[in-house]
Structure 1
Amino acid sequence: MDRTQASALHPALLPLGTDVGPWRVVGWGGQGVYGAVYQAVRAGAEPAHPVALKLALLPRDPRFARERELLARVEHPSIPRLLDSGEWQHPLGTVHPYIVMEWVDGTPLYEWVQEHQPAPEQVVRLLAQTARALEALHAQGAVHRDVKGGNVLVRRSDGRAMLVDFGSGIHSGAATLTPPGAWTGTPAYRSAESSLFSLRHMRDVAARYSDKPTDDLYALGVTAYRLITGTYPELSDPFKDEVGVWQLGEMNSPPPSALVPQIDPQLDTLIVRMLRVHPEERGTARELAEALEQVSERITLQRAPPQMTPQPAEMSSSTRPSPPPAVSRMRAPPRWPQAMAAATALMLSAWAGWAVRDGILAMPSATRPEAADSEREEASTVGLGDTASRAPTSSAPDASVPEVMAEDSLPEPREGQATPDAKGRCPRKGQLALNGGCWVRLGLEREDCEGSGYVFTSQCYGPVLSNPRHRQPTSDPGSQP
């Protein structure tokens, strides 16, 4: 291969037939933030069952060693098995690590429920299986750090929930790669305690949040709430207590039962429990898995047809025992509220680039990298042992550009933004003083907040601008056009 051909070869766009270690690329899987996933088989063993080969986009990416070690520690039927790992040398000399996992032929959780309209016990069973996977992970001192619907695939062969994408995961003794002040994960699923940590340490440039199993459980609660109701739960606005410490109240959103009355009462309680602000009230993955399994079994028994027993001839139909009432099937949320929300978002698009100023909207800039978009996780990811996106791959990414982590740091004040007074108070009631700027909650769904505001503590905020009459002119009024 000449140098021109070699330079055109990129880890994100390997041609079919390329050998990576003992594995041969036979299909495309998708591209994530840090790696590309291919369908591969052992070279010389075709035809064979495919595997998922994840190749690092950047040379010697240390995340792959951490992910390999994490997967090597855990063995569970709802976690893809680690099969191999190694390094692939690019023809120009750069070395890219890879890991090989069990190929999961499945559908992302939210999409699967929308397509199949499953019975309630099936939905609860999938949540229980995901909780069991987290139990196995936490038992090994590991945390997934990106639990969400897009990272749970429902396997086609047997309907089992498979927890995937361990690229953000961390285990005891692993090197910390996230810089201070940053946060890894998907903002819509960020735990209350992680958000509070950022608020309480906003001036400490060396502060680093340490993820715990309870962060995974909160994210599982968000997944369950979104799965059942079709919406994301929201926390209350942050506030300072009597000694000036930032606090958060409990969930501002109603419990799932207020939106889906037919939900099982115990399942409703479990979801609210996972979303508690105080992490110690969530319990453990094992406790939640056991409780979810009990709910699934009980619903199954309630839905089972009554036993056919011989009836005495003299027994009238009015005295015969009646079967238990049927439990309605778990249905995906109706589409018309989503259509209304989309129409509202379209009307708001006239305001979409604007932040609130005295009840009027004014232009802000984007506040978070696209990689942190909570809706990216709902893209279909079929057949992978790792999550990948549907982003177009017609051109290879520039490997010289550092990768952008999905992080949710505090927003910096923008030009012309109102600032709190010496006592930390903003000009108007209901405005939030945050990191030296004044912010107000926007009436936008989390999906529509990207680019129009800032998602923090699971809600959408926009910057409050200073009174324009107090601004200095930016051009000479006497100048001719």
Structure 2
Amino acid sequence: MTIPAGPRSPHLGEVLGRWKLIDRAGRGGFGVVFKAQLTAEPCTVAALKLAREPMDARFEREAKLLDAARSPHLPRLLDKGEWLSPDGQSYPYLVMQWVEGLPLYAVPKVRSFTNASAARALAHVAHALAELHRLEGVHRDVKGDNVLVQADGTAVLVDLGAAWHVGARPLTDTVIPPGTEAYRSPELLRFRRQFRRTPEAHYLSQPADDLYALGVMAYRLVTGRYPGPITDPDTSSAEPPRFLPPGEVATVTVELERLILQMLSEDSGKRGTAVELALALERAAASAGAARLMERPCMRETQKTARPGPRSRHALPAWLAWVGSSALGAALTLAVWTLGTAPRKRERAEEEAPPRADMSDERMTGLADAGVEEIHASTAALPNAGVPTYAIGLPMPKKPLPGQRRPPCGPGLVTLNDGCWAGPIEGERPPCGQGMFDYQDRCYVAVLVPQRQPASEQP
């Protein structure tokens, strides 16, 4: 099904229950996250997650698990309630501990990263999963974007929007549950292939699925890439899945590599339990010393020669960022941006699983995922332009952005604050999606001046 655009979200400054909304922090298929403060104690801040669909029962599941969980590696549930929209519909919201941290995969880019720090963060996630599994629940969307690492190195597993627990009533009629494609377990993919044309078949997620996803996350964390393809379930080959051991790609310690390969075992029974993995990862962290995690030089040279590195995940293609100033260019900008930022179709029975080998981040962004995307994410700017492509719901700037087209704007465009804009974007309401700006309760996209491309490369 297609996730609707959702209600007119509350404006910043509005009060929901005991909480005043002070900032926008994230948005996804199921919810919008605000930073909120307790009205009676303004110094107390929290993350308020508001459903995008009326009476979304996923929030019941998430609230039940978080309320029962007792782990420093899961956000605490502080409050819950319902927001009555102007059209009279009721949207549930949850108020959780505000976690100030970096998404897991961003940590190596800004901090000195060692085998010990990697193993420690993975141990924290394993502890969080152990608590969910103790409660007979599964997260179902374990990935680096759903792990925030605080300044002291403590990792917190967030976004239980796709979680499930024993006794929860079914919410979908798809063959497989929601989740992110690169992290699907081999047994789930085999089930999908076998029953994809049997609508009444439904895969029941298990703790082993979470542990396989933890293995994918660990491999991606230490190597910067995703593991290779699993064994094709349509063949009779008994060969194990083939991908480079992490130690051949990066300077991973033997113990950490062993645990990653264990989590990535195609035999779910060999992955162990979350408790066992958490303790083993803690031992691996203690024995790793100060060994840094770095890509092996041979792999770096091979990639430069055979497969140039991908563009930044959050950067737009150059042709789109600098599309022409004609009406056709403006329409193309709007069409591509709208397609790129529109809510994805979720909770559907997907077709064939794509290969996992060497899946870069921006190749993965088009695949189905679940929950709120990039909670508390920071912004990144477009090359040579001041348009933040990963900002969520920014207010319209009072002056034109660097590189933005100035009036006369031409057909199909609007002039706002001395700049040219495409919009309002159909079906979008604040808080707007990536790279969009709020103006009078509608969403707009900046139109940029095309950049002249050089005739030849510099020597």
Which residue is 2:281 aligned to? 292
Cα distance in structure 2, aligned partners of 1:107 and 1:337: 30
SS in 2 for 1:36: strand
Closer/same/farther in 2, CA of residues 41 and 179 from structure 1, 3 Å limit = same
Which residue is 1:190 aligned to? 184
Cα distance in structure 1, aligned partners of 2:34 and 2:305: 39
Which residue is 1:277 aligned to? 266
Q: Residues 26-425 of structure 1: matches in 2 within 5 Å?
A: 26-46=22-42, 48-156=43-151, 158-240=152-234, 249-260=239-250, 262-300=251-289, 303=290, 328-331=291-294, 343=308, 370=344, 374-375=364-365, 381-382=375-376, 390=390, 393=393, 398=427
Is the 1:30–1:390 contact (alpha carbons within 8 Å) kept by the matching residues of 2?
Answer: no
Q: Residue 136 of structure 1: CA displacement?
A: 0.8
SS in 1 for 2:99: coil
Which residue is 2:432 aligned to? none
Larger radius of gyration: 1
Uncovered stretches (5+) of structure 1, i.e. residues with no partner: 1-8, 304-327, 350-365, 401-481
Q: Which of 11, 14, 17 pairs up with 1:18?
A: 14
Q: Residue 73 of structure 1: CA displacement?
A: 1.8
Is the 1:131–1:289 contact (alpha carbons within 8 Å) kept by the matching residues of 2?
Answer: yes
SS in 2 for 1:238: coil
Is the 1:141–1:171 contact (alpha carbons within 8 Å) kept by the matching residues of 2?
Answer: yes
Is the 1:196–1:248 contact (alpha carbons within 8 Å) kept by the matching residues of 2?
Answer: no
The one-letter code matched in structure 2 to 1:254 is L
Q: Residue 12 of structure 1: CA displacement?
A: 6.1
Which residue is 1:456 aligned to? none
TM-score between both structures, scaled by the size of structure 2: 0.66
Q: Residue 93 of structure 1: CA displacement?
A: 0.9
Q: Residue 164 of structure 1: CA displacement?
A: 0.5
Is the 1:117–1:331 contact (alpha carbons within 8 Å) kept by the matching residues of 2?
Answer: no
SS in 2 for 1:99: strand
SS in 2 for 1:183: coil
- Once the two structures are superposed, what CA deviation does each residue of 1:304-347 show, in whole Å capped at 9, x if it has no partner? xxxxxxxxxxxxxxxxxxxxxxxx4123677776666774879x
* Fraction of identical pairs, as percent: 38
Q: Residue 399 of structure 1: CA displacement?
A: 8.8
Task: Say how many residue pairs are matched.
Answer: 336
Closer/same/farther in 2, CA of residues 397 and 154 from structure 1, 3 Å limit = farther
Closer/same/farther in 2, CA of residues 339 and 185 from structure 1, 3 Å limit = farther
Q: Residue 33 of structure 1: CA displacement?
A: 1.2
Cα distance in structure 2, aligned partners of 1:145 and 1:160: 21
Is the 2:123–2:281 contact (alpha carbons within 8 Å) kept by the matching residues of 1?
Answer: yes
Closer/same/farther in 2, CA of residues 113 and 26 from structure 1, 3 Å limit = same
Cα distance in structure 1, aligned partners of 2:217 and 2:364: 12
- Once the two structures are superposed, what CA deviation does each residue of 1:30-64 show, in whole Å capped at 9, x if it has no partner? 21211110011122432x12100001111111111
- Once the two structures are superposed, what CA deviation does each residue of 1:371-414 show, in whole Å capped at 9, x if it has no partner? 67733789754379xxxx936547788499xxxxxxxxxxxxxx
Closer/same/farther in 2, CA of residues 12 and 34 from structure 1, 3 Å limit = farther
Is the 1:40–1:51 contact (alpha carbons within 8 Å) kept by the matching residues of 2?
Answer: yes
Q: Residue 84 of structure 1: CA displacement?
A: 0.5
Cα distance in structure 2, aligned partners of 1:221 and 1:63: 26
Closer/same/farther in 2, CA of residues 32 and 396 from structure 1, 3 Å limit = farther
Cα distance in structure 2, aligned partners of 1:396 and 1:142: 38
TM-score between both structures, scaled by the size of structure 1: 0.63
The one-letter code matched in structure 2 to 1:390 is Y
SS in 2 for 1:50: strand
Is the 1:25–1:39 contact (alpha carbons within 8 Å) kept by the matching residues of 2?
Answer: yes
Q: Give RMSD over aligned pairs.
A: 3.2
Cα distance in structure 2, aligned partners of 1:239 and 1:142: 27
The one-letter code matched in structure 2 to 1:331 is M
Closer/same/farther in 2, CA of residues 82 and 392 from structure 1, 3 Å limit = closer
Cα distance in structure 2, aligned partners of 1:248 and 1:16: 57
Is the 1:106–1:155 contact (alpha carbons within 8 Å) kept by the matching residues of 2?
Answer: yes
SS in 2 for 1:130: helix
Cα distance in structure 1, aligned partners of 2:6 and 2:425: 7
Is the 2:33–2:375 contact (alpha carbons within 8 Å) kept by the matching residues of 1?
Answer: no
